[in-house]
């Protein structure tokens, strides 16, 4: 239970280029209209939000820049449990973030930005890294490019194995992917995968960390993938479930790379259609996870600095004795002058205090 008459302040600072994400694990602060008695305020650098009651429990808040200021104040009566919060730093650059593939649409989806226009494709190179945290025998989709619920291009696993699907034509990639043994290509640590398709070829090329191999897919020859579709990580088309894991460094080019180009691909080679940068994506903040050992990331400081908490005891006008707390709610349709109401109320309170 928090003490009465507190005025506390926490300033959390992250290095430039990072933001702070505060999550309230527990939250119970005396509830009142406009949080007039006890309250917690979050200053994210742009706006200040005030909370009381249990409203902030389970919520996360991001700072606009690299500083977040949290203040807490309590009045002279009625105490509650208080709050417990954790905070971490989130890299603003997507290079330092992996993205958790949303497992159901209700929590938000990861898609490319509406500003990205995908041209019609007769050849492509797509590269990304992914993990599979729950290595089940089930089927999944890692990404899906579609228009009005028609699957134009997708990669996932079905009963035939790992499949690149081009306009519904399945290209089974298992011969190139499973050369290193296991039945699942993706594991709990990131695996890099590039898939190269060219509609003049009867083959699809698959490049992994130490392997470049062609698989046959004659039916995908001469196809053209329409442009202006929407690319989603995971998939929500009927009958498919998203890959349960994380994706990193998803890049798409509108040309087919040869084996030496793809083998020498560096972090600086930007996907000319889709690149792993914030501008290219819509990603809900909960899906972003900063991590320090990502292949194209920079090293992260372990924790942000917090300036020592300053809690001041408020002026002791209310020490000892009996106190009455009166709430007055003014309800009016008119646009009342707030100061006028306040002055009327305070003179009313003073008169009654005098004659008590
Ligand atoms: Ca209180």
Phi, psi for 160 (deg, rounded to 5): -85, -15
Ligand 1 centroid vs 5 CA: distance in angstroms?
Answer: 8
Output the CA angle 122-123-128, nearest 5 degrees.
135
Ligand 1 centroid vs 342 CA: distance in angstroms?
Answer: 21
Ligand 1 centroid vs 6 CA: distance in angstroms?
Answer: 9
Ligand 1 centroid vs 82 CA: distance in angstroms?
Answer: 10
Give me the half-sphere count of Cα atoms (radius 13 Å) on the Cβ side of residue 187.
10
- pLDDT tens per residue across span 252-287: 999 999 999 999 999 999 999 999 999 999 998 788
Provide the mean pLDDT of the chain.
88
CB 128 within 8 A of CB 249: yes
Q: Supply the pLDDT for residue 213.
A: 94
Give this prediction's pTM. Answer: 0.67
Ligand 1 centroid vs 70 CA: distance in angstroms?
Answer: 18
Q: Supply the pLDDT for residue 352.
A: 66
- pLDDT tens per residue across span 71-108: 999 999 999 999 999 998 887 889 989 999 998 888 88
Q: Supply the pLDDT for residue 179.
A: 59
As beta bridge partners, residue 164 has 155, 171
Q: Supply the pLDDT for residue 355.
A: 55
Ligand 1 centroid vs 313 CA: distance in angstroms?
Answer: 13
Q: Supply the pLDDT for residue 131.
A: 96
Ligand 1 centroid vs 338 CA: distance in angstroms?
Answer: 24
Under the banding of pLDDT at 50, 70 and 90, the label for residue 66 is confident
Q: Supply the pLDDT for residue 226.
A: 96
Ligand 1 centroid vs 9 CA: distance in angstroms?
Answer: 17
Q: Residue 255: which of 142, 126, 116 has the closest Cα?
A: 126
Report whether pLDDT(338) > 80.
no
Under the banding of pLDDT at 50, 70 and 90, the label for residue 115 is very high
Look up residue 354 and give its two tokens: 């005098």
Report whether pLDDT(329) > 90.
no
Distance CA 11, CA 215 (A): 56
Look up residue 44 and give its two tokens: 């994210």
Q: Supply the pLDDT for residue 349.
A: 72
Q: Supply the pLDDT for residue 312.
A: 81
Ligand 1 centroid vs 81 CA: distance in angstroms?
Answer: 11
The protein residues having their C-beta less than 5 angstroms from ligand 1 (an ion) are 30, 37-38, 74-75, 78
């Amino acid at each position: 239970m928090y003490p009465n008459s507190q005025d506390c302040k926490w300033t959390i600072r992250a290095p430039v280029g990072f933001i702070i994400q505060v999550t309230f694990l527990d939250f119970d602060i005396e509830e009142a209209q406009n949080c007039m008695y006890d309250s917690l305020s979050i200053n994210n650098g742009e706006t200040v939000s005030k909370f009381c009651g249990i409203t902030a429990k389970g919520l996360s808040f991001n700072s606009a820049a690299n500083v977040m200021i949290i203040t807490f104040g309590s009045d002279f009566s009625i105490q509650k449990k208080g709050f417990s919060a954790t905070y971490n730093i989130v890299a603003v650059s997507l290079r330092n973030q992996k993205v958790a593939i949303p497992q159901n649409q209700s929590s938000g989806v990861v898609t490319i930005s509406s500003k990205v226009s995908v041209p019609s494709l007769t050849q492509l190179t797509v590269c990304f890294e992914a993990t599979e945290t729950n290595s089940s025998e089930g089927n999944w989709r890692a990404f899906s490019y579609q228009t009005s619920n028609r699957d134009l291009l997708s990669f996932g696993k079905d009963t035939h194995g790992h499949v690149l699907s081009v306009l519904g034509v399945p290209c089974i990639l298992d011969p190139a992917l499973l050369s290193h043994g296991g039945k699942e290509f993706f594991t709990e640590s990131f695996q890099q995968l590039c898939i190269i398709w060219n509609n003049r070829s009867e083959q699809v090329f698959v490049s992994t960390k130490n392997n470049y191999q062609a698989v046959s897919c004659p039916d995908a020859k001469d196809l053209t993938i329409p442009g202006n579709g929407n690319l989603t990580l995971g998939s929500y088309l009927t009958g498919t479930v998203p890959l349960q894991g994380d994706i990193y460094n998803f890049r798409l080019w509108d040309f087919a790379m040869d084996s030496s180009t793809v083998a020498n691909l560096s972090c600086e080679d930007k996907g000319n259609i889709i690149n792993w940068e914030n501008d290219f994506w819509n990603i809900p903040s909960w899906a972003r996870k900063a991590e320090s050992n990502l292949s194209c990331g920079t090293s992260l400081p372990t924790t942000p600095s917090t300036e020592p908490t300053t809690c001041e005891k408020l002026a002791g006008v209310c020490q000892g004795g009996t106190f009455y707390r009166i709430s007055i709610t003014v309800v009016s349709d008119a646009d009342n002058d707030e100061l006028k109401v306040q002055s009327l109320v305070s003179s009313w309170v003073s008169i009654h205090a005098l004659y008590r």
